[in-house]
Amino acid sequence: MKIQVPKGTQDILPEDIEKWYFIEDVIRKILNKYGYCEIRTPIFEHTELFVRGIGESTDIVNKEMFTFPDRKGRSLTLRPEGTAPVIRAYLENRMERISKVVKLFYFGPMFRCEKPQAGRFRQFHQFGIELIGSQSPVADVEIIAAALEIYETLGLKGLQVSINSVGCKKCRKDYIGKLKSFLENKKEQLCFECNNRIEKNPLRVLDCKNIKCRETLQEAPKIIDHLCDECKDHFEEVKECLSDLKIKYTIDERLVRGLDYYTKTAFEIISGELGAQNAIAGGGRYDNLVEELGGKETPGVGFAAGIERMIISMEKQKVSWPKKQYLDVFVVKIGEKNNIVAFQLLQEIRKAGISADLDYAGKSLKSQMRTANKYHVKYTVILGEEELGRNMVTLRNMETKEQKEIKINNLIDELGS
Ligand code: HAM
């Protein structure tokens, strides 16, 4: 029996990799322009990082993590997201010493054991940014603006920004009391899991995907009506700044996001092309996370975006991808001999900065020419035994079909001209 990829994972094949290069290139250029530096953290971390960072009663920690013991029995987890690892690295490397505000971005695979469906995978790729050390509402807007600039440069249209404020520790206390009493009265209409969450973490009930729970929650008290003055002012300033920058947004009073670390601003960017899994990016402020992971009180804000979901949306919108990069030259060898000579010549061509390859499968001349055509090369360099004896090769221009015999020593100049 053939072994297949695990459920919810996929290969990124050579014919698709150009899309990934293109997207990563746009992201890197734009984020460098915004002053963000790339960070790469390990793919697995101590499980405790996510339990403390994301929150024990979230779906991610409760049901979706790939967790396993190492050989000494310590619990490790494949990272389900990038924010907690970035904050761990920020603290471990004492980055606050370098600058009060630290701006980081990352790319990479994330892992969540969810039920796979269109746009939802068990291994998926995110890029994300984290702006650590600023309380300013303008920082929240920079995050949203950077995301939108990336999507716009990639040619994605019609995206919607939904924002909300989830308050802070202070104002949430009062709100959670009110939410709890509401939920206590609706126990029968809520699913088993929501019932369990009423005591442990009632805010997470607002996140439930169950349709009946969602209907019941329509009348639930809204956090936005219970913000303290500081959170209210912060939210007002975010909205004002978005409007001044002509960034369209809608307020989604039900938006709480599925991770516990959020405070104040929470947002999602929605793509109409994605069906049920329509969030192309999500993020917000997390002013307590650094402290919860053992650091000093330090505010932060960031977002992450699913790259597969970006590609799906771009394909549905028929966005044009950059042209595929092909080889410049194919070295064609006639006869059994001269393998090493052909390889030496190939390496010289490559050293001159010209992309080139040859056939390693022992194909006939005709079939080597076919391969050259498949690669859309500009030139083939044909090595015949007799010509090589005279230090000559044949250079064929594949567009004009012209060919001429030239001295080996002149080959690089001819190719470069
Ligand atoms: P998140 O909303 O869990 O946030 O994920 C961000 C994005 O990752 C989603 O909007 C979606 O595009 C993509 N994504 C999530 N799960 C899957 C999946 N199973 N399959 C495919 N794509 C998926 C976070 O991860 C936070 N760390 C974002 C953040 C950064 N907040 C502050 N800083």
> How does DSSP assign 349-385, residue by residue?
HHHTT--EEE-SS---HHHHHHHHHHTT-SEEEEE-H
State the chain's maximal CA–CA distance in angstroms: 95
Q: What is the C-alpha radius of gyration for the chain, rounded to an integer number of angstroms?
A: 28
CA distance 129 to 281: 11
Q: For residue 160, with 0-12 CB atoms within 10 Å meaning exposed, 13-18 middle and 19 or more buried, which class applies? A: middle
Going from the Cα of 59 to the center of ligand 1, the distance in angstroms, rounded, reads 13
Placement of tokens 């920082």 in the chain: 139
For residue 200, what is the enclosing H or E element?
Answer: helix 192-200
> 396 in helix, strand or coil?
strand
Mapped onto helix, strand or coil, the DSSP state of residue 273 is: helix
130 lines ligand 1 (CB under 6 A): yes
Looking at ligand 1, which residue's alpha carbon is closest to its atom 29? 303
Sheet with 67-69, strands from edge to edge, namely 44-46, 75-78, 67-69
Ligand 1 center–CA 276 separation, angstroms = 14
What's residue 237's pLDDT?
A: 98
Q: Is the CB of 241 under 6 A from ligand 1?
A: no
Distance, in Å, from the CA atom of 107 to the CA atom of 255, rounded to the nearest integer, reads: 25
The finding on whether 53 has its CB within 6 A of some atom of ligand 1 is no
| Angle between helices 47-54 and 83-92 in degrees, nearest 10 | 110
Ligand 1 within 6 A of CB of 162: no
Note the pLDDT of residue 199. 87
123 lines ligand 1 (CB under 6 A): no
| Nearest residue to 296 via CA among 9, 74, 95, 17 | 95
Which atom belonging to ligand 1 lies closest to the Cα atom of 128? 30
pLDDT number for residue 166: 95
CB-based contact 114:306 (threshold 8 Å): no
Collapsing DSSP to helix, strand or coil, 190 comes out as coil
The H-or-E segment that residue 18 falls in is helix 14-33
* Distance from the alpha carbon of residue 257 to the mean position of ligand 1, in angstroms: 10
Do 255 and 266 contact (CB within 8 A), yes or no? yes
> Measured from the CB, is residue 202 less than 6 Å from ligand 1?
no
Query: In this structure, which residue's CA is closest to atom 11 in ligand 1?
Result: 306
* 284: nearest Cα among 24, 81, 89, 77: 81
User: Ligand 1 centroid to 10 CA: how many Å?
Assistant: 18
**Cα(15) to centroid of ligand 1, in Å?**
26
Whether ligand 1 lies within 6 angstroms of the CB of 279 is answered as yes
Non-local (6+) Cβ contacts of 202 within 8 A are 176, 179, 180, 183
Whether the CB of 252 sits within 6 Å of ligand 1: no
Is the full-model pTM beyond 0.85?
yes
pLDDT at 337: 85
The Å distance, Cα 130 to ligand 1 centre, comes to: 13
pLDDT at 283 (0 to 100): 98
Q: What share of the chain is helix, strand, coil (3-state, %, to 5)?
A: 45, 20, 35
pLDDT of residue 165: 97
Distance 58 CA to ligand 1 centre (A): 14
Task: At 269, list the tokens.
Answer: 């960017």
What pLDDT does 324 receive?
Answer: 80
- Which of the 8 DSSP states describes residue 61? I
pLDDT at res. 210: 86
Which atom of ligand 1 approaches the CA of 280 most closely? 12
Q: Which of 185, 260, 193 is nearest to 216 (CA)?
A: 185
The reply to whether ligand 1 has any atom less than 6 angstroms from the CB of 120 is yes
Residues 193, 122: Cα–Cα separation, whole Å: 22
Residues with pLDDT less than 50, the chain:
none
pLDDT computed for residue 41 by the predictor: 98
Are 153 and 33 within 8 A, CB to CB?
no
- Are 243 and 137 within 8 A, CB to CB? no
Whether the CB of 114 sits within 6 Å of ligand 1: yes
Closest CA to 330 of 303, 296, 367, 304: 367
pLDDT value of position 342: 94
Residue 64 to residue 122: CA distance in whole angstroms: 9
Choose the residue to mutate in 54, 112, 117, 124 for probing ligand 1, maximizing ligand atoms within 8 Å of C-beta: 124
